[in-house]
């Protein structure tokens, strides 16, 4: 039987884009399927008030780059579009500490820290990682916090995926000997997380996907996979049938495509939703561990709005500085561009505590004590100009499990350890100190205030590595147990808590997985 493609890749984020380039380099015929839109610089929203261009809610006609999903235990922010999370993420490319490689279900499969070193280097080069050169008001306040905490040596300007060059000046490709697209120098507008409108952010369509297309890979946007079925109705040795439909049109155009192999790279939510559905139908051999060991980096997201008229927090890149507050934790300051004040509609005065009545009472007390301050935050000041989001992360471990409900939705339960919580003592102390430095008031996402449900932009796991199907969903080379030429290569494969922004780690592990697949010519010889 003649197949349409050698590999179909579901999703175009950090795992999918790496897979597309490396497989096309090896001579394979590749199709990338992405449910989101294909955006170019001028298409991105000017501010996050342009909800149709910023949020992904296709049932409302919103075809933007960011998706918000709310579960019982966690609220999740994720990216959508050609380039996946790279369109909306904050550019930071850290390498995790040693504990990441020595914990979780993958710990004994390899010496991961040394194995992945060359792949981290390769990924950093492809993504154009470079140190942020400038500090602005929000970063300087974090540096002041480091001085107060007496940990100035733990303050750093992170490596980021941004072309700095000369602000607003377009130049020939600076990364790939002139073979890549033209680029424009960053103007530090702070708009990284609403989509870079100035061609300075090193999104995946400017590196991995760009060259994958040059090699002949095809990209189908606004298309969603709803079923994957082995052609032989067994382990997929003869290939797979992939069923797709339009993700944005009212009348769903459907298509049936075949391929030798399938790579799931739709992000944790997309990959798990599809795999859990298929386990009950067409892929029954999937491990019973599917959906387990989901991690959140134990994050808190707290906003601090300054009342100082001389401070402008919108200037800079999305994350221009970070502070390692102890061996297990670090704090980053995140910003949005001037005018992007949508989040204030979903924020309430910051309060903590396990009892919702106590939290609400504390909120009311804060408003009564400082009515003018909160009036200015919500109605007078430019929210994004005066507000910084403090992203606190820990490498301490706890896990969730996602299941498929009766209606086909994902639902969360606690897998191990304590359930995720916004009430982290270290985060509370740091928030209070930062607010003092900038003469500010803290606010937080309303679900944290009302329901005690924390938020994360770094959902990980659910299809983790293991020695066998009793311990994981995939092996050390990302191959799915029970099936031939089937892989999971995205955040779902992350098998321990990195405690830092995971994009570089996903890219490096994807590079490692692709390195294990032989060239197409060798694969054909081996099959004869």
Tell me how far apart the alpha carbons of residues 77 and 346 are, in angstroms, rounded to a whole number. Answer: 14
Length of the chain: 528
The pairing of beta strand 218-220 with beta strand 319-326: unpaired
Tell me how far apart the alpha carbons of residues 51 and 341 are, in angstroms, rounded to a whole number. Answer: 12
Which of 94, 88, 29 lies closest to 56, judged by CA? 88
Q: Is 458 a catalytic residue?
A: yes
Report pLDDT for 260: 97
Which letter, b or e, does each residue of 169-187 get, where b requires 16 or more Cβ atoms within 10 Å of its Cβ?
Answer: eeeebebeeeebeebbbbb
Which letter, b or e, does each residue of 251-279 get, where b requires 16 or more Cβ atoms within 10 Å of its Cβ?
Answer: eeeeeebbbbbbbbbbbbbbbbbbbbbbb
The strand order across the sheet containing 410-416 reads 410-416, 399-404, 294-295, 460-461
428 three-state secondary structure? helix
Report pLDDT for 257: 98
pLDDT per residue over 248-275, tens digit each? Answer: 988 778 999 999 999 999 999 999 999 9
Phi, psi angle pair for 205, to nearest 5°: -75, -5
Q: Which of 73, 330, 347, 458 is catalytic?
A: 458
CATH code of the domain containing 423: 3.50.50.60
Task: Give the number of domains in the chain.
Answer: 1
Tell me how far apart the alpha carbons of residues 303 and 274 are, in angstroms, rounded to a whole number. Answer: 34
Which of 290, 287, 243, 281 lies closest to 262, judged by CA? 243
442 three-state secondary structure? strand
Give 121's contacts (C-beta < 8 A, 6+ positions apart): none
The pairing of beta strand 56-57 with beta strand 75-79: unpaired
pLDDT per residue over 205-251, tens digit each? Answer: 999 999 999 999 999 999 999 999 999 889 999 999 999 999 998 87
Tell me how far apart the alpha carbons of residues 238 and 487 are, in angstroms, rounded to a whole number. Answer: 16
> Is the separation of the CB atoms in 301 and 391 below 8 Å?
yes
Tell me how far apart the alpha carbons of residues 200 and 89 are, in angstroms, rounded to a whole number. Answer: 14
The pairing of beta strand 254-264 with beta strand 5-10: parallel
Over its C-alpha atoms, the chain yields an Rg (Å, rounded) of: 23
Report pLDDT for 53: 95
Mean pLDDT by 10 residues, the chain (528 residues): 94 98 98 96 95 94 94 91 97 94 96 98 98 97 96 96 97 97 97 97 98 98 97 93 94 92 97 96 97 88 93 96 90 95 91 80 89 88 93 80 85 79 85 95 87 87 97 98 98 94 97 96 72
> Is the separation of the CB atoms in 454 and 420 below 8 Å?
yes
> Is the separation of the CB atoms in 193 and 337 below 8 Å?
no
Q: Residue 24: exposed, middle, or buried by beta-carbon count in 10 A (0-12, 13-18, 19+)?
A: buried
- What letter does residue 362 receive in the DSSP assignment? H
Q: Which domain holds residue 414?
A: 5-527
Helix (H) / strand (E) element for 25: namely helix 14-25
**What would the two tokens of residue 64 be?**
């933007």
Which letter, b or e, does each residue of 357-396 get, where b requires 16 or more Cβ atoms within 10 Å of its Cβ?
Answer: eebeebbeebeeeeeebbeebeeebebbbbbbbbbbbbbe
- What letter does residue 380 receive in the DSSP assignment? I
């Amino acid at each position: 039987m003649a197949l349409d493609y050698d590999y179909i890749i579901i999703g175009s984020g950090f795992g999918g884009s790496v897979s597309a380039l490396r497989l096309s380099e090896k001579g394979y015929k590749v199709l990338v399927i992405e449910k989101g839109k294909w955006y170019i610089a001028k298409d991105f929203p000017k501010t996050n008030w342009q909800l149709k261009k910023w949020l992904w809610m296709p049932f409302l006609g919103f075809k933007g780059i960011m998706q918000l999903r709310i579960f019982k235990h966690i609220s999740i922010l994720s990216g959508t579009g050609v380039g996946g999370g790279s369109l909306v993420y904050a550019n930071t490319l850290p390498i995790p500490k040693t504990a990441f490689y020595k914990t979780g279900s993958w710990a004994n499969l390899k010496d991961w820290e040394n194995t992945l070193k060359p792949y981290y280097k390769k990924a950093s080069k492809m993504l154009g990682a470079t140190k942020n050169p400038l500090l602005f008001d929000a970063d300087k306040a974090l540096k002041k916090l480091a001085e107060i905490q007496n940990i100035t040596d733990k303050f750093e300007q992170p490596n980021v995926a941004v072309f700095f060059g000369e602000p607003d000046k377009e130049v020939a490709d600076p990364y790939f000997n002139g073979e890549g697209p033209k680029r424009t120098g960053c103007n530090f507008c702070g708009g990284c997380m609403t989509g870079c409108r100035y061609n300075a952010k090193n999104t995946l369509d400017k590196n991995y996907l760009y060259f994958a297309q040059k090699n002949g890979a095809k990209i189908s946007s606004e298309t969603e996979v709803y079923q994957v079925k082995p052609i032989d109705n067994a382990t997929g040795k003869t290939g797979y049938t992939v069923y797709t439909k339009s993700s944005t049109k009212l009348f769903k155009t459907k298509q049936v495509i075949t391929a030798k192999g399938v790579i799931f790279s739709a992000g944790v939510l997309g990959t798990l939703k599809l795999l859990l559905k298929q386990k009950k139908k067409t892929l029954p051999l999937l491990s019973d561990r599917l959906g387990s060991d989901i991690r959140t980096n134990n994050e808190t997201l707290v906003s601090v709005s300054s009342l100082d008229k001389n401070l402008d927090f919108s200037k800079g890149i999305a994350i221009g500085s970070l502070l390692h507050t102890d061996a297990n934790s670090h704090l980053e300051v995140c910003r949005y561009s001037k005018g992007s004040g949508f989040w204030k509609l979903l924020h309430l005065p910051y309060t903590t505590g396990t009892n919702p009545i106590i939290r609400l009472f504390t909120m009311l007390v804060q408003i009564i004590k400082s009515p003018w301050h909160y009036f200015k935050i919500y109605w007078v000041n430019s929210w994004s100009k005066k507000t910084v989001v403090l992203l606190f992360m820990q490498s301490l471990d706890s896990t969730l499990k996602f299941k498929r409900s009766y209606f086909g939705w994902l639902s969360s339960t606690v897998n191990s350890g304590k359930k995720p919580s916004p009430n982290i003592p270290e985060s509370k102390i740091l928030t209070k100190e930062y607010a003092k430095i900038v003469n500010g008031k803290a606010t937080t996402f309303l679900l944290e205030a009302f329901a005690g449900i924390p938020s994360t932009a770094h959902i990980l796991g659910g299809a983790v590595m293991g020695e066998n199907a009793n311990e994981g969903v995939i092996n050390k080379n990302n191959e799915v147990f029970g099936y031939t030429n089937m892989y999971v290569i995205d955040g779902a494969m992350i098998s321990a808590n990195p405690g830092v922004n995971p994009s570089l780690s996903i890219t490096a592990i994807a590079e490692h997985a692709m390195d294990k697949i032989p060239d197409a010519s060798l694969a054909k010889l081996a099959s004869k």
